[in-house]
């Protein structure tokens, strides 16, 4: 076999191996109560004061978890902490106390619910050490990360709606992605949050955080 052909064959085998190793894949959306696309001066002013809450959601397109098929189902995680969540890629913002609620697609069976909860606890391990509730609710999620347009509606409990960032969203002309996504994702695209809300009872408070540069749209594969 000629060397180029051998390399091509190895590449195909390696690519196939990587694809088969992924147990689950799909779409991801996240919004936080601080700007993630911002200038350092604005971000420094918010640290320890804002960004203590977040709504994260996954929509499974293919695959499953722990041997259970989850294709077509969605799950969301709502997080509340006593400090700013996340990292800017250099400095970790460490919250000493974090509580969360997991919202499971009401279409899931009992077995699928358990698998979705297990998946979220691994995918967002830093934020699921103190889960207050697991609640079933209708979940509708749309994500076009290439256009930065997405939406999440988890019954009456949580919601996100985004649009692309535009020229008018640059305030100091020094904006960049300051915070990274809270979980391991691919194709992460920053977006403008038209809406982010949580109105459940599991975290000792609710919030509406609208019209901010605080969202990511992405894909996930594990």
Q: What is the value of pTM for the model shown?
A: 0.85
Q: What is the dihedral of CA 120, 122, 125, 127, to 10 degrees?
A: 0
- Confidence band of 164 (pLDDT split at 50, 70, 90): very high
Residues 195 and 175: their CA atoms lie apart, in Å, by: 21
Residues 68 and 9: their CA atoms lie apart, in Å, by: 32
pLDDT above 50: residue 18: no
- Cβ-Cβ contacts under 8 Å for 199 (sequence gap 6 or more): 156, 157, 158, 206
Degrees to nearest 5, angle at CA 128 with 206 and 220 = 100
Please, what is the average pLDDT of the chain? 86
Summarize pLDDT for 24-80 with one digit per residue, the tens: 999 999 999 998 887 566 666 566 666 799 999 999 999 999 999 999 999 999 999
pLDDT for 181 equals: 94
Summarize pLDDT for 99-124 with one digit per residue, the tens: 999 999 999 999 999 999 999 999 99
Q: Where are the domains of the chain?
A: 24-221
How confident is the model over 205-222, as a mean pLDDT? 95
pLDDT for 185 equals: 97
């Amino acid at each position: 076999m000629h060397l180029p052909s051998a390399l091509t064959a190895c590449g195909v085998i390696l690519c196939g191996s990587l694809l088969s190793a992924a147990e689950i894949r799909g779409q991801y959306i996240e919004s936080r109560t601080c700007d993630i696309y911002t200038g350092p001066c604005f971000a420094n002013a918010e640290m320890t004061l804002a960004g203590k809450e977040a709504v994260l959601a996954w929509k499974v397109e293919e695959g499953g978890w722990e041997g259970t098929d989850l294709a077509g189902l969605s799950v969301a995680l709502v997080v509340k902490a006593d400090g700013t969540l996340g990292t800017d890629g250099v400095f970790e913002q460490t919250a000493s106390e974090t509580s969360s609620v997991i919202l499971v697609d009401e279409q899931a069976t009992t077995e699928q619910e358990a698998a979705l909860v297990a998946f979220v606890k691994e995918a967002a391990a830093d934020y699921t050490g103190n889960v207050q509730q697991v609640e079933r609710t209708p979940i509708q999620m749309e994500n076009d990360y290439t256009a930065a347009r997405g939406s999440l509606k988890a019954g009456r409990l949580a919601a996100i709606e985004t649009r692309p960032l535009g020229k008018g969203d640059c305030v100091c002309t020094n904006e960049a992605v300051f915070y990274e996504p809270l979980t391991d994702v691919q194709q992460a695209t920053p977006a403008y949050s038209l809406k982010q809300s949580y109105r459940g009872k599991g975290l000792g408070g609710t919030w509406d955080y609208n019209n901010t540069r605080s969202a990511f749209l992405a894909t996930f594969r594990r």
